[in-house]
């Protein structure tokens, strides 16, 4: 049996341990205790989480003892040691120490003062099958050794998907399906499962693994209205000397940027723009009750958290407060598609009607945003790595929402603009309406809905 300080990582352990670091990458520790985090166990860890030694877990998974000459056996022993250490460190040292101290007091009261044997539950033996999900934990750690997008290892958000995959398969089996019980009614349900990856031990492992690895979240850089205006000015200059084929590509890019920013859309949502609806409303001279010209952006598709195909109409002002000409680029896209003979299908498509790829749009857009950076360093610092920090998936939306708040647009108007994303409209109860019915549905809301794009 090990003492806490003796239970340390296997010699082959190369798993990353997240430590505080400044912007230059220099790591420093707040106190001496941080130096042993995830690098050794603590006395009393086995009193807070199910514990089986590395060899026991090895035999449980392989039905044999490890071979010292087999590098795969040694790798598995290394991972099992890391699995146990991650499980231990799901709880902080102060919690483990306090629990051990309180347990000692229980034993002292029972034995010393009453002279009775301590009525503590037995810590073992454990079943000879993997009822805790150790095998899945091993696979997750093995997956984490692979090279990630940002670092030399995978992020926790990636490796945790293996847990979900195992859970899905387990509940698809006759054993998992028949053992599951349900509490509650249609509106809210809780499920009781015997799936190993739903065990308390696995919850502790997952929490400890996440704490050790940390999370590196790189949010797309928000683009301001001034950057968008500069971007569209670059596209405008290209437009003036472009051929008809080139103008079609520029219309796609300009309309994409204008719609994504003006409507605060995520990158893939812009590709849901419906050509028939765009032409139908684009041929009308639409003005609000106050005389503000606007355009309608019709989105058709299956939206996250919603049931079935939906049609959403979003009104955007023709020209924003900062001078972004949304209407100009939307009309150019509409005219370009009509010249190609298009009338139905996705608006963001090639001459054959096939939807263009997000990757193509992103590369073309980022190249021009780099030009904005070179022309206007006051708008985008030279420290910004455009191809790493800017992404069309989120940069337009984050920039639009931030700009709207900076310009004093109320949260109510922002919510009204994004009303089709609300959970209340996403439970399958809203009927599919005809296009004209959708327009009638939002007609009374046009002034409020235009507050968002007008302020940009």
Q: What pLDDT, in 10s, does the model give residues 27-57?
A: 676 677 788 899 999 999 999 999 999 999 9
Which SS3 state, helix, strand or coil, does residue 438 take? Answer: helix
Residue 310 neighbours by CB under 8 Å, 6+ apart: 300, 301, 302, 303, 420, 430, 432
pLDDT band, residue 432 (cuts 50/70/90): very low
Q: Which of 193, 213, 233 is the last residue of a domain?
A: 213
CA 169 to chain centre: 23
Q: Does some domain include residue 287?
A: yes
Q: Give the residue, 306 or 297, on which the prediction is more confident.
A: 297
Distance CA 406, CA 409 (A): 8
CA 360 to chain centre: 22
Tokens of 407: 């310009």
Tokens of 409: 């647009």
pLDDT above 60 for 429: no
Specify the CATH number for the domain of residue 338.
1.10.443
Residues 161 and 235 in one domain: no
Q: Does some domain include residue 92?
A: yes
DSSP secondary structure letter of residue 330? H
Residues 116 and 162 in one domain: yes
pLDDT above 90 for 434: no
User: In terms of DSSP H, where are the helices of 242-352?
Assistant: 244-262, 267-270, 275-282, 326-339
Closest-CA residue to 259 (of 246, 269, 245, 250): 269
pLDDT above 60 for 315: yes
Distance CA 21, CA 19 (A): 6
Burial of 128 by CB count in 10 Å (0-12 exposed, 13-18 middle, 19+ buried)?
Answer: exposed
Q: Which of 213, 239, 259 is the last residue of a domain?
A: 213
Q: Does some domain include residue 220?
A: no
Owner of token pair 């796609």:
252
User: Which percentage of the chain shows pLDDT scores above 90?
Assistant: 55
User: In terms of DSSP H, where are the helices of 214-304?
Assistant: 225-241, 244-262, 267-270, 275-282
Q: Does some domain include residue 132?
A: yes
Which SS3 state, helix, strand or coil, does residue 136 take? Answer: helix
Segment 371-393 mean pLDDT: 90
Q: What secondary structure, in 3-state letters, does 59-80 show? A: HHHHCCCCCCCCHHHHHHHHHH
Residues 196 and 266 in one domain: no
Residues 178 and 269 in one domain: no
Residues 273 and 184 in one domain: no
Q: Does some domain include residue 167?
A: yes
Triad 323, 324, 325: Cα angle to 5°: 105
Distance CA 272, CA 108 (A): 69
CA atoms within 13 A on the CB side of 62: 17
pLDDT above 60 for 428: no
Q: How many residues does the chain have?
A: 456
Q: Does some domain include residue 257?
A: yes
Segment 296-301 mean pLDDT: 84
pLDDT above 70 for 296: yes
pLDDT above 90 for 64: yes
Distance CA 218, CA 335 (A): 38
Q: What is the pLDDT of residue 18?
A: 85
Q: Give the residue, 186 or 422, on which the prediction is more confident.
A: 186
Please, are residues 15 and 214 in contact by the beta-carbon 8 Å criterion? no
Q: What is the pLDDT of residue 410?
A: 85
pLDDT above 50 for 427: no
pLDDT band, residue 112 (cuts 50/70/90): confident
Q: Does some domain include residue 218?
A: no
Residues 292 and 351 in one domain: yes
Q: What is the pLDDT of residue 168?
A: 94
Q: What is the pLDDT of residue 214?
A: 85
Residues 187 and 43 in one domain: yes
Q: List, in sequence order, every beta strand (DSSP E) within 262-322.
A: 294-301, 310-317
Q: What secondary structure, in 3-state letters, does 24-51 show? A: CCCECCCCHHHHHCCCCCCCCHHHCCCC
Give how many domains the chain has, as a whole number. 2
What are the tens digits of pLDDT across the range 137-168? 999 999 999 987 767 788 998 999 999 999 99
Hey, how many other C-beta atoms are within 10 angstroms of the C-beta on 198?
16
> Which structural domain range is residue 27 located in?
4-213
Relative orientation angle of helices 71-88 and 200-213, to the nearest 10 degrees = 90
Hey, how many other C-beta atoms are within 10 angstroms of the C-beta on 230?
21
Residues 110 and 159 in one domain: yes
Q: What is the pLDDT of residue 131?
A: 93
pLDDT band, residue 433 (cuts 50/70/90): very low
Residues 339 and 307 in one domain: yes
The continuous run of DSSP H or E covering 389 comes out as helix 386-389
Residues 338 and 410 in one domain: yes
User: Which of 218-227, 381-390, 432-441 bottoms out in mean pLDDT, i.e. has the lowest?
Assistant: 432-441
pLDDT above 90 for 24: no
Q: What is the pLDDT of residue 422?
A: 46
Tokens of 147: 């090279």
Q: Give the predicted TM-score (pTM) of the model.
A: 0.70
Triad 16, 21, 25: Cα angle to 5°: 90
Residue 188 neighbours by CB under 8 Å, 6+ apart: none
Distance CA 45, CA 33 (A): 16
What are the tens digits of pLDDT across the range 240-272? 999 988 999 999 999 999 999 999 888 888 998
Closest-CA residue to 442 (of 266, 286, 319): 286
**What are the beta bridge partners of residue 190?**
183
Q: List, in sequence order, every beta strand (DSSP E) within 115-179.
A: none
What are the tens digits of pLDDT across the range 75-98? 999 999 999 999 999 999 999 999
Percentages helix, strand, coil for the chain, rounded to the nearest 5? Answer: 50, 5, 40
pLDDT above 80 for 445: no
Q: What is the pLDDT of residue 42?
A: 94
What are the tens digits of pLDDT across the range 199-244? 999 999 999 999 999 877 667 889 999 999 999 999 999 999 999 8
pLDDT band, residue 411 (cuts 50/70/90): confident
Distance CA 234, CA 250 (A): 10
Q: What is the pLDDT of residue 107?
A: 92
Owner of token pair 């050509």:
275
Q: What is the pLDDT of residue 44?
A: 93
Triad 446, 450, 453: Cα angle to 5°: 155
Q: Does some domain include residue 219?
A: no
Residues 194 and 278 in one domain: no
Residues 265 and 179 in one domain: no
Q: Which of 184, 213, 242 is the last residue of a domain?
A: 213
């Amino acid at each position: 049996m090990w003492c806490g300080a003796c239970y340390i990582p296997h010699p082959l352990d190369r798993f990353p341990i997240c430590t505080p670091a400044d912007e230059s990458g220099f790591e420093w520790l707040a106190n001496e205790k941080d130096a042993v985090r995830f690098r050794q166990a603590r006395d009393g860890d086995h009193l807070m989480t199910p514990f089986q030694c590395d060899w026991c877990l090895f035999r449980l998974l392989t039905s044999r003892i490890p071979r010292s000459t087999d590098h795969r056996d040694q790798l598995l022993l290394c991972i099992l040691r890391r699995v146990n250490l991650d499980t231990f460190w799901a709880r902080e040292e102060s919690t483990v120490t306090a629990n051990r101290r309180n347990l000692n007091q229980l034993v002292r009261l029972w034995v010393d003062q009453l002279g009775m044997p301590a009525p503590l539950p037995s810590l073992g033996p454990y079943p000879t099958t993997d009822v805790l999900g150790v095998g899945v934990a091993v696979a997750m750690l093995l997956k984490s050794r692979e090279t990630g997008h940002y670092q030399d290892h995978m992020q926790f958000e990636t490796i945790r998907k293996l847990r979900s995959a195992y859970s899905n398969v387990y509940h698809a089996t006759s054993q998992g399906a028949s053992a599951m019980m349900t509490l509650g009614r249609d509106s809210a349900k809780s499920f009781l499962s015997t799936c190993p990856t739903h065990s308390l031990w696995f919850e502790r492992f997952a929490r400890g693994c996440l704490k050790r690895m940390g999370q590196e979240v790189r949010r797309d850089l928000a683009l301001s209205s001034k950057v968008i205006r500069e971007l569209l000015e670059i596209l405008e200059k290209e437009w003036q000397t472009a051929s008809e084929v080139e103008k079609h590509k520029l219309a796609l890019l300009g309309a994409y940027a204008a719609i994504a920013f003006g409507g605060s859309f995520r990158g893939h949502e812009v590709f849901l723009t419906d050509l028939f609806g765009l032409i139908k409303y684009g041929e009308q001279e639409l003005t609000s009750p106050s005389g503000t010209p606007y355009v309608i952006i019709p989105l058709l598709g299956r939206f996250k958290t919603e049931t079935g195909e939906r049609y959403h109409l979003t009104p955007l002002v023709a020209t924003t407060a900062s001078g972004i000409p949304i209407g100009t680029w939307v009309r150019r896209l509409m005219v370009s598609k009509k010249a190609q003979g298009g009338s139905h299908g996705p608006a963001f498509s090639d001459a054959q009607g096939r939807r263009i790829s997000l990757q193509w749009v992103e590369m073309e857009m980022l190249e021009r945003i780099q030009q904005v950076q070179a022309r206007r360093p006051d708008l985008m610092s030279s420290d910004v790595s455009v191809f790493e920090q800017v992404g069309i998936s989120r940069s337009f939306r984050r920039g639009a929402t931030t700009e709207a708040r900076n310009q004093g647009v109320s949260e109510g108007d922002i919510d009204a603009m994004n009303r089709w994303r609300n959970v209340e409209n996403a439970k399958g109860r809203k009927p599919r309406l005809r296009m004209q019915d959708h327009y009638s549905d939002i007609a009374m809301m046009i002034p409020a809905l235009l507050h968002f794009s007008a302020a940009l």
